[in-house]
Amino acid sequence: MIYELNLEKILFLDIETVPVVYRYEQLSEKQKELWESKNQYQIADGTSAEELYKKAGIYSEFGQIICISVGYLRAIHRSFELRLKSFYDPDEKILLEQFKKLVDEHYDSESHLLCAHNGKEFDFPYIARRMLINGIKLPAILNIAGKKPWEIRHLDTMELWKFGDYKHYTSLNLLTQIFNIPTPKDDISGADVARVFWEEKDIKRIVTYCEKDVAAVVQLLLRYRGENLIPEQNIHHIE
């Protein structure tokens, strides 16, 4: 399948998320109760609700998206050009509406694909849930209710690496290392995003990190296909 893909009809993406409030103490009493209920088994094993809250950003019910970076390919001179663009705003609804506009206008659910690393378990459902929470109608390519598996236009580079081994998780960082792809983790990692967002208030640093992840996903798919990497001079950021 990967050899038959039209790479110019794929929207590659990555998201960065943070807890809806920075610290556990900032939650309302009801939110604390619901957080503890969601994590009751880990709390019963001795981990405090406050400690667990450091990972609240990975839950769409307790987190928010602060950046969606996308990338698309254009064929040039027997190679490709990668164009990167990011949507970010203090108001999550605004960036989600901007992303939806792009997808609605340029990426239909019949001939295009969305691609991310671990996208089927994280990025795609997280975006869909946060859109619903913000009262935004889902774009067709994310509205998978009632669709058969082969009708869902989502591609996942982690799933491709599994080869049917459902218990196997491999990080993007590890795969970039073994395939000799420039790492996106040369500045911050996912564990730093909430701190950089809430304490340093440096969204541009997060955007750069997110775009590097998108570029790494693109390069990884090319490696899966046995193709050359896109040279750095062919990777462009679009405002």
> Which residues on adjacent β-strands are paired with residue 85?
70
Q: Do the beta carbons of residue 59 and residue 212 sit within 8 Å?
A: no
What are the distances in angstroms from CA 148 to CA 110, 126, 144, 145?
A: 13, 20, 8, 9
Q: Which of 212, 226, 210, 235 is nearest to 5 (CA)?
A: 226
pTM for this predicted structure: 0.95
Domains and CATH numbers, the chain: 7-20+62-237 (3.30.420.10)
Walk along the chain (239 residues) and give the pLDDT tens digit of each residue.
799 999 999 999 999 999 999 999 999 999 999 999 999 888 878 889 999 999 999 999 999 999 999 999 999 888 899 999 999 998 999 999 999 999 999 999 999 999 999 999 999 999 999 999 999 999 999 999 999 998 999 999 999 999 988 777 899 999 999 999 987 667 788 889 999 999 999 999 999 999 999 999 999 999 999 999 999 999 999 98
